Structure formats: C-alpha cells, structure tokens
Amino acid sequence: MKDEAWLFVYGTLQPGMSNYGVIQTWVREAEMGRIRGFLVDAGAGLYPALAMDKAGRPDIQAVFPAAAAARPDSKPVFPEASANGCIAESDSASGWWLRIGIGGLAETDRLEEYFGPEESNDYERIWTADLDVPSRQGWVYVWPTRRGCPPIGSSKWPPSPD
C-alpha cells in the first residue's frame, strides 16, 4: 500500500475549518478543486455532506464502492461531465484536494465513521476525479442519497453565492 493518498475535502476538514486539526499533521500538499455531487445541510448548519443524487435515488456505484476501493488505479466512479460536456455549478462541490499520509486517511475514516466497504458506514469513501483536472484523483466521503437533508444552495461550504 502506498504511504500517502489524495483526499478531497469539502466541509469541516478543509484548511481553516473546525476538523482540519484532525489531519493537519498528515497533510503534505493542498490544492483547490471541484468534483461531481452536491452539498446538503447534514448537521443543522454545522457541517455538510456530499450527496450523489438530488432525486434521492442511490448511485449504485456509490452504494457499493467495493470495486473502487479494490482498484484505486481504476477510472473514477463518477463521469467527469454530463452529456453536453459540462457539469453545472449546482452539480458540483468545491473544496480541497489534500495529499495526506496514509495515517491521515485512517484518522478521517474514524471521524467520518467509515468502517470499510459494504459495512454500516455513516459516509462511504469512494474514488473520484477532479472536474477541471481529471488526472487529479483520490478519495472522498459521500452519502449515496441526500437522506432527506436540504441542499445548501451553493457548491461551497460554508455556503456562499456561486
């Protein structure tokens, strides 16, 4: 196993946010980025979740991420663009790509209550790619559906006009 990984963060794990200290010592590099999905208010304004389907239908690859977990060198779980070649701001989430030591990934697994593929997890950890730089690929924690939580109306957290 490699001793580091890229992780996309969009909420309290972003630099300067409340949970960044959990992984700060593991961070070796940070770059802004954007991935497919949309942000929902998962904690009464305290933190977001990245949901993969606005209609509430699960994306089968997000629900069963074992294939992505087993092959991190494979293609991303989600395509880079829609039929017209673009992803709308409302269908994307902005955040940070963090290159972290593998111990940092274990720390975020604990924080996000991720216990492994096909376990009873709060968040799933899936392989994805940046929408603007598709060669940038790594892990992200997601909810397959929005779980009844309202969209925050922004591609950024804390919410701001896009």
Residues 54-111: pLDDT tens digits?
654 444 444 444 444 444 554 444 443 333 343 344 689 999 999 999 999 999 999 9
Residue 52: pLDDT band by 50, 70, 90 thresholds?
Answer: confident
pTM of the model: 0.79
- Which residues are CB-contacts of 123 (< 8 A; sequence separation ≥ 6)? 49, 112, 113, 114, 141, 142, 143
E strand or H helix that includes residue 5: strand 4-9
CATH of the domain spanning 4-142: 3.10.490.10
Report residue 112 as tokens.
């996000």
The mean pLDDT of 134-143, rounded to a whole number, is 96
